[in-house]
Chains A and B, each alone.
Chain A
């Protein structure tokens, strides 16, 4: 990335991947990647090689999130540099293979863009997930997508938190983007959710085509929700949960949670209120996969990021 006269120049995004099945029971991405693997017409754009790819085929076959360990947490430097061995957990071996095919992570040979398709049981709508506030290419892409699907909304989650950030499969690319669409139960395919994800991918690929053809995107601002804190369920001394997400909070992703608002309901009907000092914006509310990760929801705060103008680097 080079900068000249306030315009950020990025190399053309020639190699793009679309990952499905990083979690083997998140059906929209699996069905889209399978469909596009058979017929690439919909994802073809001039000047771009776009590869649809099932990242965790064993988990997909069993319709389970993962076999040994969460693939979407497996791309740590330790795992990627561990000596190749059969004793390694399946997903760690898989992470190494994916890093070879689409990376290496952090190198000049890595794929330009990877879209990672996910579903959530939370009522998050069509959420785009970013890992850096300084990647103006992805900020501009996200801005383009939001405008394209308006008036439908497309919240943007920024996970740059030093402790809560995790090593995703898409992090192998120079520009990683997560798509998280819900609510959809694990193992279920809902038509509306499938079509929403498909529409977002269409606009994302349109953006890349325009960028590669030399279009300059002017400076813009992007409203995001920045990850703050993970909130666990109340638990007893044995680690068992003692309350559920309150009906007033359930399904209210992206809406303000104010101090004093109901947050959890115990099994015998008592309300536990939110006791923070200021309003927060919760998301990933009651995601099935996060019970084992000790997360009832994550709090975010609203922020507006400034994206520089961008243009492709002249060869």
Chain B
């Protein structure tokens, strides 16, 4: 009797999800034209693909340079941030003569890699980014049900040797998701830093290369039919953003990120901890009750978006074991 009950308990705890095979993966670089690692990694992978054909990786890859004009000028964007152009609404605007370059490009990428929410979309879309913030390797996913992305994160976390790996969960519904990876059936970004925009660091390149190779390796493993165990993973879930202190008239910033917060991405911020140091020497402290986790601390591109850093809650996500569906 006792033996039967314990077997039943084990049976109910073991959840196994079967998912379709991942037949096509896209890797995109240069979505922001001055985030250099993705640009050069995609070009290098394209060179390898030309030499070795589909044998180069366990799954066929579509390699894309998302924003060629911005890349040419080594700028984040030409008219508008491409990585904010992929909401279902923007993708269904008709294109006219006055449509900004990046919105046209978003439509092209949606046709190439999507259409978003259709069965023709690529199975996995991985978008490569850099940040000036000290974020190591951060995988960005949209929702806690993106099992493929969460499994890839778990795999990277267990295997990456060169840099710390974290998961940032944006937590918005797919049709409101505005960035490129939401075009794929499963999509995630790899955000690697710190690296100045316009600079190519070999160490950052090596981290991103390792992360991509492990991601593709996991997909190959999944497609081969083995059962991949689930478990629990830590995630940082977006809570809110904090802007710099600004002059009320000129809107110019009046303080810099405090030296004790600078580079401390994902380190717990508690009430009383310094966050800004004003040019006149005053320290501004974090005043909220709830301890939260700052990240994207002092990202160059976020000054114009009114963001000094984001704050996240740390949580634990349960992911089921997965296996590829057998035909």
Within 8 Å of chain B (Cβ to Cβ): is A153? no
Contacts of B32 in A (CB 8 A): none
Q: A244-B202, A245-B202, A291-B198 are contacts. A189–B40 as well, Cβ < 8 Å?
A: no
Minimum CB distance partner of A264 in chain B = B202
A191 and B256 form a contact (CB under 8 A): yes
Minimum CB distance partner of B194 in chain A = A185
A189 and B256 form a contact (CB under 8 A): yes
A268 to B298 Cα, complex, angstroms: 31
Minimum CB distance partner of A30 in chain B = B252
Other-chain residue from B202, B262, B301 in contact with A247 (beta carbon distance below 8 A): B202
Considering only residues 240-257 of chain A, those with a C-beta below 8 Å from chain B are: 241, 244-247, 250
**Contact-size category for B:** 20 to 34
A121 to B196 Cα, complex, angstroms: 7
Q: What is the distance, in angstroms, from B25's C-beta to the closest C-beta of chain A?
A: 20
Taken residue by residue from 301 to 327, chain B's Cβ proximity to chain A (1 for < 8 Å, 0 otherwise) reads as: 101000000000000000000000000
A185 to B193 Cα, complex, angstroms: 12
Q: What is the distance, in angstroms, from A18's C-beta to the closest C-beta of chain B?
A: 15
A191 and B259 form a contact (CB under 8 A): yes
Other-chain residue from B47, B74, B197, B202 in contact with A187 (beta carbon distance below 8 A): B197
Other-chain residue from A31, A186, A191, A288 in contact with B277 (beta carbon distance below 8 A): A191
| Interface of chain A, main secondary structure | loop
B198 and A186 form a contact (CB under 8 A): yes
B44 and A121 form a contact (CB under 8 A): no
A265 and B256 form a contact (CB under 8 A): no
Count residues on chain A whose CB falls below 8 Å from chain B CBs.
29
Contacts of A250 in B (CB 8 A): 201-203
Considering only residues 150-209 of chain B, those with a C-beta below 8 Å from chain A are: 194-203, 205-206
Taken residue by residue from 273 to 298, chain A's Cβ proximity to chain B (1 for < 8 Å, 0 otherwise) reads as: 00000000000001111010000000
A190 to B194 Cα, complex, angstroms: 13
Within 8 Å of chain A (Cβ to Cβ): is B69? no
Minimum CB distance partner of A189 in chain B = B256
Contacts of B277 in A (CB 8 A): 191
Within 8 Å of chain A (Cβ to Cβ): is B104? no
Within 8 Å of chain A (Cβ to Cβ): is B12? no
Minimum CB distance partner of A289 in chain B = B198
Within 8 Å of chain B (Cβ to Cβ): is A109? no
A186 and B197 form a contact (CB under 8 A): yes
Minimum CB distance partner of B303 in chain A = A187
A245 to B205 Cα, complex, angstroms: 11
Contacts of B262 in A (CB 8 A): 190-192
Within 8 Å of chain B (Cβ to Cβ): is A144? no
A187 to B258 Cα, complex, angstroms: 17
Q: What is the distance, in angstroms, from B63's C-beta to the closest C-beta of chain A?
A: 14
Other-chain residue from B197, B253, B257 in contact with A185 (beta carbon distance below 8 A): B197
Within 8 Å of chain B (Cβ to Cβ): is A194? yes
Taken residue by residue from 106 to 131, chain A's Cβ proximity to chain B (1 for < 8 Å, 0 otherwise) reads as: 00000000000000010000000000
What residues make up the interface of B, taking CB atoms closer than 8 Å to A?
Answer: 40-41, 43-44, 47-48, 74, 132, 194-203, 205-206, 252-253, 256-259, 262, 277, 279, 298, 300-301, 303
Further 12 A-B residue pairs, CB within 8 A, beyond A286-B200, A291-B198 = A35-B279, A183-B196, A190-B257, A191-B258, A241-B200, A244-B200, A244-B201, A247-B203, A250-B202, A267-B41, A267-B43, A287-B199
Q: Please name 19 pairs of A and B residues whose Cβ atoms are closer than 8 Å in the assembled complex, sorted by A.
A: A185-B199, A186-B198, A187-B132, A187-B197, A187-B300, A189-B253, A191-B277, A192-B259, A245-B201, A245-B202, A247-B202, A247-B206, A250-B201, A265-B202, A286-B201, A288-B196, A289-B198, A291-B74, A291-B198
